[in-house]
Structure 1
Amino acid sequence: MTALPTRRDEAWRYADLARLAPLWPARDPVRRRLEGADLSLDERIDGDGWHDAEIDVAVSEGGRLIGTIEQVAGADATVTVLYRITLAAHARATLTLLSHGAAYGRLALDISLAEGAVLDLGGAIVGGGSQTLEIITTVRHIGPGATSRQTIRAVAAGRAVASYLGQVAVSREGQQTDAAQSFKALLLDRGATANAKPELEIFADDVKCAHGASVGELDAQALFYMASRGIAPADAEALLARAFVDDALAALPEGPAREALGAQLQALVARRGEG
């Protein structure tokens, strides 16, 4: 793509186009390719400037892909990264996405599943201040009997914008597809925004597909209960925020990535109400 996207492009309708406008004319994304039967995709996007990349990943028949993509770029950075992933017949992918860095951070995945392939995708967006953070997924069931599970959670504070655009596309050949997609957002401040656009496009007639999206606030009753047990309000809010994102992070091991996300949540709670 050479021209700057517009709001008419559904995949970019919530993007920070004002931030991209001065950068886009010089766009020359970094390109990489991985392929094989036993792949690990452990990516950490950090530093300043514009991180613009397109990564192609091909998992061969019966193969396995395991990985974590962590977007923790600098406070003034811009991230536009696309992963194109192909799962051959009976391949399996288990991926975790974390996005809590950059002024504008966009993680996009386009994943194709052949016959009997399995995808487990979890993701968390945690943003504050004036950040705009997005996860965009297109999961294509191009063969029969494939399974996909997507669980995305977002926590936004200040004036942050957290967006999830997720499409499940089932071709005519994708009979007996089993696909589920879940997005939930938690707003810590009145100025924060969450956008959700779950979408099913189905051309097969023997499928099981479901999607859902919700946006809410911290549970007042849960906070009251924790206060009655002597837990300080800030600690209670941080615990609830961490529990909220935890079901999307089942595949994320204990370690620096999980600790950094927890620290970011704690910081957002501490700054609640600052705008």
Structure 2
Amino acid sequence: MLDATTYPTRREENWRYSDVDALKSLDLAAINSWREITVPAGETHREIFTFDQADGTDLRRLRVTLGKGAECELFAVSAGSQYARLEVEVTLASKAHFEFGGVTLGGDSTIREFVTRTIHAEPDATSNQTVRAVHWGKGTGNFLGRIDVVRDAQRTDAAQDFKGLLLERGASANAVPQLEIFADDVKCAHGATVGQLDEQARFYMAARGLSPDMARKLLVRAFLADAFAALDDEAEQERLLEQALTVLGDAV
């Protein structure tokens, strides 16, 4: 656990890819401050986060507790600040569900990251996390996702999916999925891939009359859309996608 009297260092697993120098622009109280969210049994909480300030450091830490049968949906576009971090710790009671969809984007030497810890504390809960990262220049996108399943949390169904898209040499994406499972009747899955645009798909689209720029934009849009597929508000989906594509600008 982070010592509340000192700044984080990269020796700590949850901060291994972070911009720890940028954190020193914040005071320790801000770094160690968590926003508490409690969702009572049977209720639903949805929240959308955007990181769009021009520079500086943007750190947000949430601790979410879900009651029996409660649902929490969090969606985020991290495309601002020199260093931006959203950290979420969620504890699920029986039959609760946690949904997270996030996108990181950035060029230059920016670092944007999502860090999650999902604690399945009781049986029959579900969680799903979908993260997409698109970076260029020397930009970096990180996803550190830990899933804990306690001994009595039978019939847990938990999944994480991370994909990184690097538009230029020098950009990077890091994924650290972790599973700590102590129950024996569970379904837990995680996947992580990092690559470049599918040239075969671009060729296919060009052969049907689309310009290279348009083909590239459509492929990136489809790539990002996965993160918001669980959001059942189409207008909000479109708004988040347009925000992301605006940030991409000439990078695609």
TM-score for both structures, normalised by structure 1: 0.85
In the TM superposition, residue 18 of structure 1 has moved relative to its aligned partner by 2.0
1:114 lines up with 2:93 in the alignment: yes
Runs of 4+ aligned residues of structure 1 deviating over 4 Å after TM superposition are none
Cα RMSD (Å): 1.6
Equivalences for 1:40-189 in 2 at 5 Å?
Answer: 54-74=34-54, 76-189=55-168
Residue in structure 1 matching 2:247, options 256, 260, 264? 264
In the TM superposition, residue 28 of structure 1 has moved relative to its aligned partner by 2.6
**Contact preservation (8 Å) 2:40, 2:70:** yes
Paired residue type of 2:34: E
Residue in structure 1 matching 2:235, options 254, 261, 266? 254
CA distance in 2, matches of 1:201, 1:218: 33
Residue in structure 2 matching 1:234, options 213, 218, 240? 213
CA distance in 2, matches of 1:83, 1:267: 33
CA distance in 1, matches of 2:234, 2:35: 24
In the TM superposition, residue 230 of structure 1 has moved relative to its aligned partner by 2.2
Decide which moves more: 257-266 or 203-212.
257-266
Paired residue type of 2:103: A
**Contact preservation (8 Å) 2:108, 2:139:** yes
Tell me the alpha carbon deviations over residues 9-48 of structure 1, each in whole angstroms, 9 at most, x when there is no partner. 1000000112223x24x33329xxxxxxxxxxxxxxxxxx
**Contact preservation (8 Å) 1:120, 1:150:** yes
CA distance in 1, matches of 2:209, 2:99: 38
**Contact preservation (8 Å) 1:134, 1:162:** yes
Corresponding pairs, count: 245
Shift in alpha-carbon separation, 1:169–1:116, aligned structure 2, 3 A? same
CA distance in 1, matches of 2:33, 2:53: 14
TM-score for both structures, normalised by structure 2: 0.92
Paired residue type of 1:258: L
CA distance in 2, matches of 1:53, 1:253: 33
CA distance in 1, matches of 2:249, 2:211: 13
Which structure has more strand as a fraction of its residues? Answer: 1
CA distance in 2, matches of 1:7, 1:94: 29
1:19 lines up with 2:28 in the alignment: no
**Contact preservation (8 Å) 1:53, 1:80:** no
Tell me the alpha carbon deviations over residues 168-198 of structure 1, each in whole angstroms, 9 at most, x when there is no partner. 1111121110101110000000110000101
CA distance in 1, matches of 2:153, 2:40: 19
CA distance in 2, matches of 1:78, 1:56: 21
CA distance in 2, matches of 1:77, 1:232: 37
CA distance in 2, matches of 1:188, 1:53: 35
**Contact preservation (8 Å) 1:241, 1:265:** no
What secondary structure, in the 3-state scheme, does the structure 2 residue paired with 1:190 have?
A: coil
Shift in alpha-carbon separation, 1:128–1:253, aligned structure 2, 3 A? farther
User: Please, which runs of 5 or more residues in structure 1 have no aligned partner?
Assistant: 31-51, 270-275
User: Please, which runs of 5 or more residues in structure 2 have no aligned partner?
Assistant: none
CA distance in 2, matches of 1:58, 1:184: 30
CA distance in 1, matches of 2:60, 2:126: 25
